[in-house]
Structure 1
Amino acid sequence: MKLRTWGLLIILVAIVLACGGGDDEEPIPPLDPELGKSYFFLQQGKYREYNVYEIRYYAVDISDTFTYQLREEVGEPFSSGGQVSHIMNRYVRDDDTQPWELDSVWSARIEGDKAISVENNIPFVKMTFPADISRTWDRNLLNSREAQVTSMLNFDSNFTVGLNTFLETAEIEISNDEDGITFRDIRREVYRDSIGLIYKFYDQVKLCSRQECLGQQIVESGRLYREELYAHGKIDEED
């Protein structure tokens, strides 16, 4: 009996040692909580300039097409409700032969694990940190609109805008929803480390669902908007 007992004990020890063989591997470290914050770039004096293409649809076969340039400047910080935000001055012009004219003033901040942009007095959660493609969040968490599940499609990857390929980008998918019959809602934004937003694409339209045009992808109302970065830098370093 003693020999049998010792034999069973030896077998049990061997099983335990075999099961614990993977304990020598280094555990996966947690993500740095600051990861991704430099993509939502809020350095005072930074500017970004974009080429904008926009179509506004009013009815079937009735629309306006606009091409213009947009400039965004990160202004001085200010404190409100215990949070530090930056003024975002936004200018527009038809093309580079025209002077910039002030169009609107937004604000932006990083609050804890959220990047927040206040656009025409409506706050949106643009990103959450640490950046992780497995995470989702509600873009409309801080406003009264219907919840909008948002996710990060890619992080620290390449993205091409026009003739330029940017490294270290984060691609955000706001919506990728369409039924092919009544509506289309496709929205994405791309941010580059130490630059900020480099690309925005919004295609939010209602499709004609009357019998004569049902299923033909004919736009009845809505907007298509594309914004592409073409220049960026520091205001005090401009020629």
Structure 2
Amino acid sequence: MWKKACLSFFIVLLALSSCQTGEDPIPALDADRGKSYFFMVENKYREYNVREIRYSAVNISDTLVYQLREEVRESFINSQGEESRIIHRLTRDNDTQPWVLDSVWTARIEKDRAVSIENNISIVKMVFPSQAERVWDGNIFNTKAVDQFKILNFGVLTNIAVNNDLETTSTMTIEQENDEDGITFKNIRREVYADSIGLISKLYNVVKICSRSECLGQQLIESGRFYRETIYAHGFIDED
């Protein structure tokens, strides 16, 4: 499992380094550009290696290493008359154990946005047409403070190793936050999506750094959470 996790993380680094850059936004080819990156097709599954560290005090933390599986299930019409998809999220410690249902999320693709309801919080994960440098408020449908998400760039990822096969696909990197002062806090949140696959990488590093006199200059984490999720397999349930 560790070999797969390291390989997946290396692949994501390649995705970030191979993305297109430039000052001018990439124009949308059509009004639907971006929807296939969210990829909420029924019976689609994605499996990830996860490493999570929860910090509760200086030098006190809890590290979790496990696997996560997302299954896109049937659709339903929500209270606003919009079609949504049920997402089953299953976890296990390693690939010798059976999957166990952990939670149920929902997601929908509207005309100009993709919305994910995670633990009863609605988040606008993507906007359409998707263009590099485009910015939007990810929290527009919840009561949290404004949180500006941004499409950093598009790129081409070659030789993505999943299901023991090599694939070539295009990627979209979305930055949810990139803020730190190097002294008291760090808030870095980024997701990478692949065309016709969906989410392939998620990085959250939101921590408070101890700024008391005995901690200064040591970069000791006082509280917060580190979370890294990288894909290692995907496909359709009826093909298993």
In structure 2, what is the Cα distance between the partners aligned to 1:73 and 1:195?
12
Q: Report the equivalent of 2:111.
A: 112
Q: Secondary structure at the match of 1:86?
A: strand
Q: Which runs of 4+ in 1 moved over 2 A?
A: 156-167
Aligned mate of 1:189, from 180, 188, 191: 191
Q: Do the aligned partners of 1:166 and 1:192 also contact (CA within 8 Å) in 2?
A: no
Q: Report the equivalent of 1:202.
A: 204
Which digits, 9 at most, give the CA deviation of each residue in 1:4-35, with x for residues without a partner? xxxxxxxxxxxxxxxxxxxxxxxxx8741100
Percent identity over the alignment is 60
Task: Classify 1:140/1:215 alpha carbon distance in 2 versus 1 (closer, same or farther; 3 Å).
Answer: farther
Which digits, 9 at most, give the CA deviation of each residue in 1:199-233, with x for residues without a partner? 00000000001011123211000000000000000
Is residue 2:224 matched to residue 1:222? yes
Q: Report the equivalent of 1:67.
A: 65
Aligned amino acid, residue 222 of structure 2: E
In structure 2, what is the Cα distance between the partners aligned to 1:200 and 1:161?
16
Query: Normalization by structure 2: what TM-score?
Result: 0.84
In structure 2, what is the Cα distance between the partners aligned to 1:217 and 1:130?
40
Kindly state the Cα deviation for residue 165 of structure 1 after the two structures are TM-superposed. Answer: 7.3
Q: Do the aligned partners of 2:183 and 2:219 also contact (CA within 8 Å) in 1?
A: yes
Is residue 2:136 matched to residue 1:137? yes
Q: Secondary structure at the match of 1:57?
A: strand
Q: Which moved more, 1:43-52 or 1:164-173?
A: 164-173
Q: Do the aligned partners of 1:180 and 1:215 also contact (CA within 8 Å) in 2?
A: no
Q: Indicate the structure (1 or 2) with the bigger Cα radius of gyration.
A: 1
Q: Report the equivalent of 1:176.
A: 178
Task: Classify 1:103/1:70 alpha carbon distance in 2 versus 1 (closer, same or farther; 3 Å).
Answer: same
Q: Do the aligned partners of 2:185 and 2:207 also contact (CA within 8 Å) in 1?
A: yes
CA RMSD of aligned residues (A): 1.9
In structure 2, what is the Cα distance between the partners aligned to 1:234 and 1:118?
22
Query: Normalization by structure 1: what TM-score?
Result: 0.84
Aligned amino acid, residue 37 of structure 2: Y
Q: Do the aligned partners of 1:161 and 1:199 also contact (CA within 8 Å) in 2?
A: no
Number of aligned residue pairs: 211
Q: Secondary structure at the match of 2:146?
A: coil
In structure 1, what is the Cα distance between the partners aligned to 2:133 and 2:57?
39
Q: Secondary structure at the match of 2:88?
A: strand
Q: Do the aligned partners of 2:28 and 2:131 also contact (CA within 8 Å) in 1?
A: no
In structure 1, what is the Cα distance between the partners aligned to 2:108 and 2:67?
24
